[in-house]
Amino acid sequence: MTTTPSIDVRSPANGSVVGRVPERPAEDVDTVVGELRERQSSWEALGVAGRVSWLERYRDWLLDNEDRLARVLQSETGKPWAEATIELPYVADLINYYCTHAGSFLAPEAPPAHGPLALTKRQRLVRRPYPVVGVITPWNFPLALALVDAIPALLAGAAVVVKPSEYTPLVTSEVASGWSEIGAPDVFTCVTGAGEAGAAVVDAVDYVQFTGSTRTGRAIGKRAAERLIPYSLELGGKDAMIVLADADLDRAARGVAWGGLCNAGQMCTSVERVYVDAGVHDEFVRRVVDAVGQLRVGEDDQSYRADVGALANSDQLDIVTRHVTDAVERGARVLTGGNRVGSGTFFEPTVLVDVDHDMACMREETFGPTIPIMRVTGADEAVRLANDTAYGLSASVWTRDTERGRRVAERLEAGAVNINDVFANLFTLPLPQAGWKQSGIGARLGGAQGIRKYTRSQAIVTARV
Ligand code: ADP
Alpha carbons 39 and 48: distance in angstroms, whole number? 16
Adjacent-strand bridge partners of 353: 333
CB within 6 Å of ligand 1 — which residues?
Answer: 136-139, 163-166, 194-195, 198-199, 202, 212-213, 216, 219-220
Single pTM value for the model:
0.97
Confidence at residue 112, expressed as pLDDT on a 0 to 100 scale: 86
For a mutational test of ligand 1's pocket, the pick from 140, 216, 318, i.e. the residue with the most ligand atoms closer than 8 A to its C-beta, is 216
Please answer whether residues 78 and 299 qualify as being in contact, where contact means their C-beta atoms are separated by less than 8 angstroms.
yes
Catalytic residues: 234, 268
Average pLDDT score, the chain: 96
For a mutational test of ligand 1's pocket, the pick from 165, 317, 364, 366, i.e. the residue with the most ligand atoms closer than 8 A to its C-beta, is 165
Minimal-distance CA residue to ligand 1 atom 13: 165
Adjacent-strand bridge partners of 133: 160, 207
pLDDT digits (tens, 9 = 90+) for 160-209: 999 999 999 999 999 999 999 999 999 999 999 999 999 999 999 999 99
Minimal-distance CA residue to ligand 1 atom 7: 216
Alpha carbons 155 and 451: distance in angstroms, whole number? 8
CB neighbours (10 Å) of residue 11?
A: 19
pLDDT digits (tens, 9 = 90+) for 341-381: 988 899 999 999 999 999 999 999 999 999 999 999 999 99
What is the atom index within ligand 1 of the atom nearest the CA of 212? Answer: 6
Please give the angle made by the CA atoms of 134, 151 and 172, to the nearest 5 degrees.
65
Q: Is the pLDDT of residue 72 over 70?
A: yes
Nearest CA to 130 out of 152, 148, 112, 108 is that of: 152
Cα-to-centroid distance, 423 and ligand 1 (Å): 24
Average pLDDT over residues 280-290: 98
pLDDT digits (tens, 9 = 90+) for 326-346: 999 999 999 999 999 988 899
Minimal-distance CA residue to ligand 1 atom 27: 195
Q: Is the pLDDT of residue 2 over 90?
A: no
Q: Is the pLDDT of residue 120 over 90?
A: no
Confidence at residue 4, expressed as pLDDT on a 0 to 100 scale: 80
- pLDDT > 90 in the chain, percent: 94
Strand order in the sheet with 440-441: 188-190, 159-163, 132-136, 207-211, 231-234, 440-441
Name the 3-class secondary structure at 305: coil
Name the 3-class secondary structure at 14: coil
What is the atom index within ligand 1 of the atom nearest the CA of 136? Answer: 14
Please answer whether residues 178 and 61 qualify as being in contact, where contact means their C-beta atoms are separated by less than 8 angstroms.
yes
Minimal-distance CA residue to ligand 1 atom 26: 198
Alpha carbons 304 and 445: distance in angstroms, whole number? 30
Which residues are CB-neighbours of 446 under 8 A, at least 6 positions away? 428, 429, 430, 431, 432, 433
Q: What is the DSSP secondary-structure string of 345-404?
A: TEE--EEEES--TTSHHHHS---SSEEEEEEESSHHHHHHHHTSSSEESEEEEE-S-HHH
